[in-house]
Every structure is written in C-alpha cells, then in structure tokens.
Structure 1
C-alpha cells in the first residue's frame, strides 16, 4: 500500500506522528519539574507545549485518515484503525488536561493532571508499537534498509563503458 500523502517518496503521516508524541512527553516533563518545585513558569510552558502537541496531533490525524482510506481490509486495516484510535485517545486525555488547566491563573499542573498525562503517555506507547507494526507491514515489499535501493531508488547496477580517446 502506498500512502497518498508523500514527500520525496516517503509517507507524511509517520513523520507527523512523532511531533505530537515528542511534545506530549516534553509537556509531561515540564509539568513534572513544575510539581517537583521548579520555577513557576514551567507549568505554563508545559501547558503551551501540550497545546502545540494537540495541533500537531490534529495534523497527524488528518494525514492518518487520508492514508486509512486506501488500507486494504484484514489485519493491516484493523491495526491502522487501532493505531489511529489509540493516538486519538492519547490526544483526548491531553485535551482534557488542557481544558481543565485553561481556567487556572498560572496554568500549572497538579498531581491529578500529571497522572492523567502519564496514563496518556502509556496509551501513546501502545500507539508507537502499533505504528512500528504498520511500518513493517506497509514496507514489507520495499527494499531492505541499508541497500542502495532503500535510499531513494538508486540503481545498484553500474554500467561500465569504455571510451576511446
């Protein structure tokens, strides 16, 4: 299966999915530092990092839905649907935390919100596993990594020609 959304032959959705997950992890680290007694602004940074992650998650979800359109039925489709649902669940938990924090004056984290974020990251870890399974399933027909064919369609055959001067 080929992705509809590609950049230089590479599917966009696996690239996009790394941004929200990384930002969600960063937001959780900022919130943990805030609760551990760090400077007050860390809670605010954690909040806005989570908001940026939600925007990135929305973009990754759109790309995932476009790719899901062409996924063949069977195990691969079930894995792709589950992958998208798991990522949506992670984003939903962070959205809930952001909505609760939006009303606070300093937007700092609490122990309960940190627990919700940790649960969301655990859900996201399941998504990472499903995503790696999808990449293996979609790329099974492609060239093995480490070969010339895998780095952009370089033909491994070399034609030798002799020229007389």
Structure 2
C-alpha cells in the first residue's frame, strides 16, 4: 500500500486501525459485564475505554484520509472509501453511546446502549472485511508492478523489483 504516512516503509493506518477496534471490543465487554450484574465500576471503565477508542478512531481516520489521496481512482478507491465510511459509522455509533452516558452520574451501561455497541461491532466486522479486501487489492497491485521471488520456498513475500532499461 502506498502511503504518505509511513514508519520504516510500512503504512501507519493499517497499524492504527487495530487500536480503536480493540478498545471498542473491550468497552463492550466491560459494558456487558456491567449489564449482567458485575461491579458498577466496570460500566465506568467501559465508558472511559469507549472514549479512548473514539480518540484512537479519530487519529486512525485522519491517517486514512491522508492515505486516501494516494489511492488510484478505481475499485481500490471505492473499497478504501467504503472502508473509511464503515469505520466512521462504527465510531459514530459508539460516540452516541458515550454522549448518552456522559451526563449520567455513574456512566453505567444499559441494555439499549449494549445493543447499540453490539450493532456497532457488527458494522466494524464489515470494516475488517473491507480492510482485508483493501490489503489484498494493494498486494495484487504491488505484485503486478514488481516481480516476485518465490524460488526460496521458506521466504514468503520477498519481492524483487523489475528494472526496465530506459530508452
């Protein structure tokens, strides 16, 4: 994947996307525990984990928008836009959940909030599928631009650039 934001040659956005997703799942687990009768403080932990996930999602969205500038205008671009929109929808649903809870004294979860978070995670699952498809599309594009060197069997994914002589 070509990207303007890179760390040692690797794009940042695919690395960042794991943080909000993991934090959203953790927040939902804390809220589930609160709803089924666990200690009351777990609802507040779920709330603050959701808030942290929203900040991580915002940073990931910024990196995704920067990366979107470099995506060619074909099927890959449509997949990248869909990926970013689905992730924004998931974050939006968690934002609604956090805003509802922000004004309650205990910030505990309710059944309605838990259902909203579970639906948001299902939407996030679609985002994971789109992200995997996007990585495969970038990998296919990269392989067509560079020849692969799979003769060594044990070294998977090694590439050799094809150098064409200039006229």
TM-score by length of 1: 0.87
Matches within 5 A, 1:60-99: 60-99=60-99
**Residue 6 in structure 1 maps to residue 6 in structure 2:** yes
The equivalent of 1:106 in structure 2 is: 106
CA-CA distance at 1:150 after TM superposition? 3.9
Q: Name the count of aligned residue pairs.
A: 153
Matches within 5 A, 1:1-150: 1-140=1-140, 141-142=142-143, 148=155, 150=157
Unpaired runs of 5+ in structure 1? Answer: 155-165
- CA separation of 1:93 and 1:9: change in aligned 2, threshold 3 A: same
Distance of 1:12 and 1:19 partners within structure 2: 12
What's the Cα RMSD here?
Answer: 2.0
Large movers: runs of 4+ above 3 Å? 142-151
Please give the per-residue CA displacement for 1:86-124, whole angstroms capped at 9, x wherever unaligned.
000000000000000000000000000001001100000
Distance of 1:53 and 1:104 partners within structure 2: 20
Unpaired runs of 5+ in structure 2? Answer: 161-167
Bigger CA radius of gyration: 1
- CA separation of 1:133 and 1:100: change in aligned 2, threshold 3 A: same
